[in-house]
A and B are shown apart, each in its own frame.
Chain A
Amino acid sequence: MKKTIINCDLLIIGTGMAGMAASVFAANRGLSAVNAGQSGEINFASGFLDLMGVFPVQDKKQWENPWEAVDALVKEMPEHPYAKISGKEISLAFDEFTDFLYQSGVPYAGYPDKNIQMLTPVGTFKPTFRVPNSMFKGIQAYKEKNQCLIADFRGMKGFSGRQLVEVLGDKWPGLRNIRIDLPGLKGEAYPKHLARSMENMETRQSLIKLLKPHIKEEKSVGFPAIMGLCKTLEVISHLEQELGVEVFEIAVMPPSVAGSRIWTAYQTGILKKGVNVLFQKQVLSFEQSETGELIFDIGQREKELRVQAKGAVLASGRFFGKGLYADRKMIRESIFNLPVFQPESRCRWHENNFLSPKGHKLNQAGIETDEFFRPLDSSGRPAYKNLFAAGSILAHQDWTRMKCGSGLAIASAFKAVNSFIQELP
């Protein structure tokens, strides 16, 4: 069988936050782009977009101003990827990406130069930078400590209104909870099914009928984030109208709809921009042409097509995204066999305490790059002049502790794409 050959400017490997952002930036700059990857990981996203929240992690120091946090980080950890990007660039990148999400129907909200302390489904708060519009009113409700009702749904696991009331009770005495037993819903209520059913007027009417008698002094009602798959704002404003209170969403445990909303928005938005998307496909092999172009065989399991690109962005993630692979002895990069910065032995990978605030050494492992985000070879020089890396695969960061995952992904994608353009003849 003859293989299809696709020629393009830029191949973006990976469909997580960094891959999506790189594809958006490439398209916005008029590049012909192909985006390939095994989608799925994004379903595990919280829906929050972090920029920079905690540093130094061992001191659990939380920052109200993310830019000051970035400055402090770069000063003490000059090897962190943020040191290769200016604050201005990070800010431009964030705005360009959230603007894309807005255009695609998922608006985000936040303060200009301030982190948000965002409520999580277990009742803790974490610092983040941008949250879906549908969740933003919850922050105000918490700040004002108004009377508020948290509604959860029978059959939906991992989200307990009573848990939130118990955990937050001392800080927010006006909080109450109620369990909704939607008619016709037996057994497990999956977030996606609930979200879809909320787009149905009848379901909303029965929800309103069940809920309204319980709203007394309350100024607002918080629901788990299942208020519609695509028409979230429409669903919420209808509920607000009928209930006569403010309505907001609270993030839920993955797999959640917050992640799939981003994914749906991305899919529709990126197609409109003319990016060639090869979803559910991965890079199976790689070679370099004599002229320096990067050639990839891509498919599900079998090689289905060939992409010949002037450059590539490696945004394949870490272990869960399969960008990195670990055996008993060491960590490798999956596609280019790039050198991976890593602790010298497995004994050093992890702390004895899972929740150790200083974080596991393994989290700092990853690909080292030059200032243009070009991965380095074993001699410390760029492995390929037209290969760039972005996102969590980068070394010298611990996004789970620093709360910088999305910012790192978006900003490094921004710089990687811009660097590629500068490389073009």
Chain B
Amino acid sequence: MINMKILQNRDSFLKTQVLIIGGGVTGTGLARDLGLRGISSILVEKQDINAGASGGNHGLLHSGARYAASDSEAAAECREEGELLKKLAPQCIEDTGGLFVAVKGDNENYTADFPGMCEKSGIKADFIDIAEVLEMEPLLSPDIIAAYQVSDASIDPFMLSLDNISHARDLGAVLMRYTKLESFNIENKKIKTALVRNTVTGQETIIEPEQVVSAAGAWAGIVAGLAGIKLDLVCSMGTLLVTQSRLAKKVINRLRKASDADILVPGGTVSILGTTSVRIDDPDKCRPTIPETDYIIEQGAAMIPALETTQYIRAYSGVRPLTGSSSGDDRNVSRGFALIDHAKDRVENLTTISGGKLTTFRLMAEKTADLICRKMGISKTCTTRTVPLPGSKEGRWTAPGLAPRMWMTGHKSDDIILCECEMVSKGIIDNIIKSCRQQGEVPTLKTVGIRSRIGKGPCQGGFCSARIAAHMYDREEFSGKKGLNELREFLNERWRGKHPVLWGLPLEQAELQEALHCGFFGLEL
């Protein structure tokens, strides 16, 4: 019976030039790059856009200064790419500028060598007077002993990936979300077909690609494994905390050898503090923990004492896929990227792109596409260095503060606010659902969450989730008990990040939420 069902479901067959695995910033960037070269691609993503490290990072557009001492090549790449992106994708970037500050007790030799090391990679780091820096960022510790100004910025990784994939689709790329790669069929040292399965509907599809690129981040080892290849990959989990309000105007870095909790990045109305580096075996086991949360706060407070008393909205983790094994601190592994042609492993049309930084995603996509073109014998050059990234409908509602601004400047008289924390209206939700539908996708509570600020405010989805579920029932997006199950999933997903930071006011909110969802609705029963 089961086999019959699979056979019936296996009703679709697709051909493409390039099959991309992984819908993070690299995969979506690659789909766009290939699209601009006139090369067709299908991108399969087992969850949703930016479900891995692309959605679990600081949102920091590096000036390169952070790597000046340890990895001058990566530092120079960051500098160049950062400058390019500020010009090409300004909608995703807030050009905040950044600071490097050392506090009492930090290594003074490192501090003194810093500007020289930056210069070697062509990075500008200007000395600033302590009094001036304290005036600039009043929450900095009075124990600061040195400060430099650099050109760091903050970048919205969700908007970035959504804009990339939207442009790629305009250029003919196909996106398959919630689609998991099940197996490869390899014949004559080539992947002939890939079998993928929709994790929601169970439908299977066979894809026949000319080339396959694994941009699966921390899952790249698993993908390579399906082709019988062992890939040396280290999973380094980093945890970050989101504060309730924005604590600093600029990106603030601790001026010391890269260590835990030494970067605070502004992200619209909040600040993001992190990160840690913990080796894990299985990228699916990535989740923020309470000891890590406390450690991050204690470390960060040396630089910004208010971090000890401020309120946090949530914690989240991402997994850095680092290629090449190392002993000791995973921070010593290069943050440069690895482009691996698996022809050497006897699978001629498989390539893995791994490692790297959010900041260098465009370059990673460029180099990968160059390799793919060579392998396919196509002579098309990269244009992402000069073609601006168009803003998209899908990406726009991820911007903090946009929804309230739109609401204040005017809304339809019959529109109502569904998420009060972030002022997301029914009209915005309808827009998101409509654009999902236009792209042939089934909207879920989670997809609405990723594409908006829903669930990201102080109540973390406690109230708006049930309201949006009701609205989606009204719109006939949900039938039967589907909406209730999605509500449960959505609440549990938000809880992951919330439960490490529950004390003070957030704990009061969480208690109210539990009273509502368990005490009243009995959703746990």
Contacts and interface: CB of A to CB of B under 8 A. Distances in A.
Interface of A: 44, 46, 48, 54, 60, 62, 120-126, 154-155, 157-160, 162-163, 166-167, 169-170, 179, 186-188, 251, 253-254, 318-320, 322, 325-328, 346-347, 349-350, 352-357, 360, 363, 399-401, 403, 405
A325 B415 CA distance: 38
Contacts of B504: 325-327
Central interface residue in A170, A320, A347, by most chain B CB within 10 Å:
A320
B519 A399 contact: yes
Given A155-B414, A186-B414, A124 B521 contact: yes
Contacts of B508: 319-320, 322
15 contacts: A60-B524, A122-B484, A125-B522, A157-B418, A160-B471, A163-B469, A188-B417, A326-B504, A354-B491, A354-B494, A354-B499, A355-B491, A357-B525, A400-B515, A403-B522
Given A155-B416, A166-B479, A126 B522 contact: yes
B337 interface: no
Given A126-B520, A399-B519, A346 B418 contact: no
B476 interface: yes
B406 interface: no
Interface of B: 287, 289-291, 294, 297, 413-418, 426, 463, 466-467, 469-471, 473-474, 476, 478-481, 483-484, 487-488, 491-492, 494-496, 499, 502-504, 507-509, 511-512, 514-525
Nearest to B478: A166
Contact of A122 (B418, B476, B523): B523
Contacts of B414: 154-155, 186-187
Central interface residue in A179, A353, A399, by most chain B CB within 10 Å:
A353
A319 B502 CA distance: 11
A19 to B, nearest CB: 17
A331 to B, nearest CB: 9
Nearest to A159: B470
Contacts of B415: 187
Given A154-B414, A163-B469, A188-B417, 4 more contacts: A126-B521, A163-B474, A163-B478, A326-B502
B410 to A, nearest CB: 13
Contacts of A169: 480
A353 B492 contact: yes
A154 B416 CA distance: 10
A38 to B, nearest CB: 12
Contacts of A60: 524-525
Contacts of B511: 318-320
Nearest to B474: A160
Given A160-B470, A319-B508, A120 B522 contact: yes
B423 to A, nearest CB: 13
Contacts of A122: 466, 469-470, 484, 487, 521, 523
B427 to A, nearest CB: 12
B476 A162 contact: yes
A162 B522 contact: no
Given A122-B466, A162-B474, A320 B512 contact: yes
A166 B477 CA distance: 11
A125 B481 CA distance: 13
Contacts of B507: 319, 326
A158 to B, nearest CB: 4
Given A157-B467, A320-B512, A167 B522 contact: no
B483 A163 contact: yes
Nearest to B287: A352
A401 B414 CA distance: 38
B486 to A, nearest CB: 12
A326 B522 contact: no
B480 A158 contact: no
A76 B480 CA distance: 38
B133 to A, nearest CB: 28
Contacts of B495: 352-354
A354 B517 CA distance: 10
Nearest to B298: A328
Given A187-B415, A320-B512, A163 B503 contact: no
A357 B518 CA distance: 9
A122 B467 CA distance: 9
A167 B525 contact: no
Nearest to B525: A60
B237 to A, nearest CB: 16
A255 to B, nearest CB: 10
A44 B473 contact: no
A167 B488 CA distance: 14
B294 A355 contact: no
Contacts of B488: 355
B413 A326 contact: no
Contact of A158 (B287, B470, B499, B509): B470
B262 to A, nearest CB: 20
Contact of A187 (B416, B471, B491, B492): B416
Central interface residue in B467, B499, B515, B518, by most chain A CB within 10 Å:
B518
A67 to B, nearest CB: 20
A346 B478 contact: no
Contacts of A354: 491-492, 494-495, 499, 514, 517
A120 B469 CA distance: 14
Nearest to A123: B484
Nearest to A353: B492
A188 B417 CA distance: 8
B471 A157 contact: yes
B503 A346 contact: yes
Given A166-B479, A166-B483, A328 B297 contact: yes
Contact of B519 (A62, A328, A347, A403): A403
Contacts of A155: 414, 416
Contacts of B496: 352
A349 B507 CA distance: 11
Contacts of A187: 413-416
A328 B298 CA distance: 11
A126 B417 CA distance: 28
Central interface residue in A320, A355, A405, by most chain B CB within 10 Å:
A355
Nearest to A163: B473
A320 B512 CA distance: 7
B417 A163 contact: no
Given A44-B512, A158-B470, A253-B516, A62 B525 contact: yes
B291 A253 contact: no
Contacts of B518: 355, 400-401
A254 B416 contact: no
A322 B297 CA distance: 25
Nearest to A156: B416
Nearest to A186: B413
A170 B479 CA distance: 11
Listed from nearest, the 10 A-B pairs whose CB atoms lie closest are A354-B495, A163-B473, A126-B522, A400-B519, A160-B470, A188-B416, A400-B518, A158-B467, A355-B524, A326-B503
B70 to A, nearest CB: 32
A162 B473 contact: yes
Contact of A167 (B289, B481, B492, B517): B481
B524 A357 contact: yes
A352 B520 CA distance: 21
Contacts of B290: 346-347
A157 B479 contact: no
B383 to A, nearest CB: 46
Given A327-B503, A350-B502, A355-B492, A320 B521 contact: no
B113 to A, nearest CB: 36
B463 A253 contact: yes
Contact of A350 (B287, B426, B499, B509): B499
A136 B414 CA distance: 33
Contacts of A356: 524
A401 B514 CA distance: 9
B418 A46 contact: no
A363 B507 CA distance: 12
A320 B515 CA distance: 10
B507 to A, nearest CB: 5
